[in-house]
Chains A and B, each alone.
Chain A
Amino acid sequence: MPATSLTFFVLLSPFIAAALAPLATRLLGHRAAWLLALVPAGIFLHFTRFSADVAGGGTTAEGYDWIPSLGLRFSWLIDGLSLTFALMISGIGTLIVLYAGGYLKGHAQQGRFFAYILLFMGSMLGVVVSDSLFSLFVYWELTSITSFLLIGFEHERTAARRAAFQALVVTGGGGLSLLAGLLMIWNITGIADLSGLLASGETLRSAPLYPVILVLILGGAFTKSAQFPFHFWLPNAMEAPTPVSAYLHSATMVKAGVYLVMRLFPVMGGTVLWETILPLFGGVTLVFGAVLAVRHVDLKMMLAYTTMASLGLLVMLTGLGSERAIDAAVLYLVAHALFKGALFMVAGIIDHETGTRNLTKLAGLARAMPLTFAIAMVAALSMGGLPPFLGFVAKEEIYAALTAGDSALMLACAAAVLGNALMFAVAFAVALKPFVGPVLPSPQRGEGGSKSRMRGTAGSEQVATPPHPPSGHLLPVGEKGEPHDPPVLLWLGPALMALGGLLTALFAPAFHAAISSPMASAVAGETHVIDLLPVPHWSLPLALSLVTIAIGVGFYLVLARIRAGVAKGLDILGWGPDRGFDQAIAGLVRFSVGVTRRLQPGRLDSYMTVTFVLLALVLLVPPAVYGEFARAPLFPAHIPWHELAIILLAVIGLPAVVLAKNRLTAIVSLGIQGFAVAMIFLLYGAPDLAFTQFMVETLSVVILTLVMTRLRLSPSDRRPLSQVLPDAAIAIACGLGMMLFLMKVTEAPFDSSLSDFFERFSKPLAHGGNIVNVIIVDFRGTDTLGEIAVVMVAALSILSLIRVRAGALRRPDDPAETDGGRR
């Protein structure tokens, strides 16, 4: 298979696998994970084949035409940046699928879960390799939709539904902002793919609309990457099962925003605006996230907020945009993906084994779960930035970047130290605290399933629904006995990822050559060579690292006190964007109700009035504005007496219908105007129409009589004068408008080309002398087919309406029904 179509197939494969996942799970149970993990593993292997080329500075841009008339392509771009992301997504994805196989073992909907996570993986992969701006956008929105499905996986719980909805609204809304930005880029540069855009130099930065584009693009990136003040969806998304959290919040979903700013850095970065907005929002998010992280006692919530902080750090570094800052961002991005994914999975294992993720209820698990403890420690050491782990390398580079500039960087540096120290404390709170100390009795006894407790600690609103029993899912192993190390499916993923944080640092030269240098070069748009080793050597960055660790240890020791302090501060503050979201949604609902009630009051006459007023305005206002009324019409001097008689007949019949006091008069008058129309058709060369009209009028009169006799209704109107006058005014305006319109049309010369065609070819082509009939059954036969189908459907509807027993529509409390119905 040629390389192009192979890559295409590889990009498609997660979606195919998603379609097959439920079936595989039905056949194989949770062991389907081994089979399904082959898909991301295969993707991973496919992308490793590009790494030699990419390491040598090469890029691959391929694809197919999608909508050639619009110049749109379905294309992909593989360079250092997208390759690293693709490897992370597929590599970590493999481990996540395996982990989910163990975590959701026995869950009734495990197959659906596999399908969702594979769909998400395919979308995310598409985001990072898309070359075309529009396939990027489509994939971007697909990640929003699939993450909605994943976060709302346990859709029977209100909190999960709310979190999913919130994520969809925030990230989907950001996606629309992104679309606007991309369209403006396309409009200004005429370029619809990234590879072309990256070669466009200063075009975008010098465009007058650059600030608008930047804000729109960042609207997409910041919502996706949970930057303050759009951060609130991320912690709430912890409602999802742990594999989702581990995947979405370590390497994928939330990194999409970071990917986007990194991707556009060469063409949009480096301006004053860029270097102001990004570090500002990133720095605020960093500090804010780190502070909020210590406020929680739920392991996943703590990790979620540190994720937010890490994203802030990455955005800040990309915003600063110096060579070292970019290098630092690249290193930290990879390090974060590895340790955060591992720690999330460890939190999931602890939950799985003990039934709780509440930090205050966990202690002394090290003896029962030595392997889990080891994995957690390795990951935490990387997160804490200790040598010889990748986290240390990244932190050295971060501090090197932040100390290498002017004093303005001091603030960013202080934010980084504070944030990192807090994250250090959180890392060990998650990875050390549950494992040391005296053994606590297994907390799940007597407290029900893990989920009901999680809600209490998750920080989101209290839900009134009764505690939801873990229906067919999440049977914690611990419930059957004491906590112990989990089966291989559960520990394999975190173990490999934690080890990854160690090995990448130990083999730093190879890692830098294959991954970080090409990626940094791609982000910066110029060649970067990273050669940092995980060996401490005395310098300012190392000093800052030591300071960070010292402060972090301090924070760790007084964690409970900080937590109480932050909680108190938040209580005083009271309001946050999370509650604001609820208020905004409630306001939107009330606003829609108000608008709907105003526009749709449920009264037919008001709908009719609006319709006809508009009709009159459409007919009268434009000609009045543009002075296009018909000229004074040429009324014929002489009208044949029989035509005059017919017109008079119609003119008498019409008001007679309106004024009729009883049924018979109304029906007869209606018949009169109908027969007058039929006579007009007959006189003006339309015998077919005339006969049809005669028949229809006769039948109308017959069925009208049948029904009206039954209704025993008087046709006369009981309108008060206050209603008659406006109604009459509207009616006259409509009639006048139609009359003037018709006069205007008929005074213009007639384009008879269509009629001429039918007249000329009726006989030669269709062998018919009655041109009207030929048009109906031959020239426009398909129309007629549709029309007789409509007649048929109308008749069937009438038949069913007639058959409906009148009582069936009546409400049961209707007295007419209870006392014997018809009499």
Chain B
Amino acid sequence: MNSLILRTIAPVLVSLMVLFSIFVLLRGHNEPGGGFIGGLIAVAALSIYGIAFGVGAVRRALRFHPATIAGAGLMLATLSGLVSALFGAPFMTGLWVTPVIFGTEIPLATVMSFDIGVYLVVVGAIGAVALSLEEEEDDA
């Protein structure tokens, strides 16, 4: 698509959407949000970027193939479930640590890395589909 307006706005819009998606992901445990929604917002951002600059640009920006990202997410989610095995707890037991970084208590948990895994799977899997379909469009 060759629209000057879109090309001008797209970089700003896309970076805002990606930031927002991460924000939604991270606040998901206490406020509305989470991996599924965050992931979908990121996919939307990728699609817009692809429409504005072509799928090739998105692929270059991502560095990794989306399916690889999805695979990494699935692996992260599985490993998050397995961590508890090291402490003798059943699979998928949530574990928490609260290290103090720069004077602030940062709660970190395996459920959080699990949610990040969900986010990556959604971004990767659905992003891969959307990008492939857009790509075919460019060919035609």
Contact = CB atoms under 8 A, between A and B. Distances in A.
Nearest to A794: B125
Contacts of A691: 24, 32-33, 37
Nearest to B109: A767
B22 interface: no
Contacts of B117: 788
Contacts of A802: 132-133, 136
Contacts, number: 136
A777 B111 contact: yes
Contacts of B36: 692, 776
Interface residues of A, number: 39
B44 A766 contact: no
Interface string B84-119: 000000011010100000000001010100110110
Interface string A676-695: 00000000000110011001
B29 A768 contact: yes
B123 to A, nearest CB: 11
A695 B41 contact: yes
Central interface residue in A772, A777, A782, by most chain B CB within 10 Å: A777
Interface string A777-788: 110011011001
Interface string A705-718: 01101100000000
B115 to A, nearest CB: 5
Contacts of B47: 699, 702
A100 B36 CA distance: 66
Contacts of B52: none
B29 A699 contact: no
Contacts of A799: 67, 128-129, 132
Contacts of A584: none
A608 to B, nearest CB: 26
B9 to A, nearest CB: 17
A770 B81 contact: no
Central interface residue in B37, B81, B140, by most chain A CB within 10 Å: B37
Contact of B126 (A777, A782, A791): A791
B77 A769 contact: no
Contacts of A777: 29, 34-35, 111, 114-115, 118
Contacts of B94: 766-767, 778, 781
A798 interface: yes
Contacts of A695: 37, 40-41, 43-44
Contacts of B125: 791-792, 794-796
B44 A795 contact: no
B73 A710 contact: no
A770 B130 contact: no
A788 B122 contact: yes
Nearest to A822: B140
Given A688-B37, A777-B114, A782 B92 contact: yes
Interface of A: 687-688, 691-692, 695-696, 698-699, 702-703, 706-707, 709-710, 766-770, 772-774, 776-778, 781-782, 784-785, 788-789, 791-792, 794-796, 798-799, 802
Given A767-B109, A788-B122, A799-B128, 5 more contacts: A688-B37, A707-B133, A788-B117, A792-B121, A795-B67
25 contacts: A688-B34, A692-B36, A695-B40, A699-B40, A699-B43, A707-B133, A710-B137, A769-B30, A770-B32, A776-B35, A776-B36, A777-B29, A777-B118, A778-B92, A782-B91, A784-B77, A788-B122, A789-B74, A791-B122, A791-B126, A794-B125, A795-B70, A795-B129, A799-B128, A802-B132
